[in-house]
Structure 1
């Protein structure tokens, strides 16, 4: 392979990682987060709805929350021996 083959190719240049426009600066995490505030609000709303729905399902699942839980005590060894 001779060097003549590569003579017409342009020289590779390093990538420029600076912001392209004048006055632009690299945005921080919070700046990028605020750009998506509508999406965040929707996601937080969905989270609240899921939390409320699961809480209601749990509350209704144990009889409405008005009844005390019953504690069933297993028989003692003496009671089992008498049977």
Structure 2
């Protein structure tokens, strides 16, 4: 892992900490282009009762990956998808 990747990882951890402080599960997500530009970032926002407010639901559409990200998430959490 290079220094720039560590910066992105640390930001994802910060977002996860923000989520935890807000009563959410501690997940953060940072979407980065191949050139190193941050395209989107978010944290879990499910404490309000909407279980679809995962960070990958925000980052995925930005990358044009919404359906694939959702399917991967489903497989990881339910074993289906």
The TM-score, its normalising length taken from structure 2, stands at 0.28
Could you say which structure has the larger radius of gyration? 1
The TM-score, its normalising length taken from structure 1, stands at 0.27
Whose RCO is larger (CA < 8 A, sep 6+)? 2
Greater percentage in strand? 2
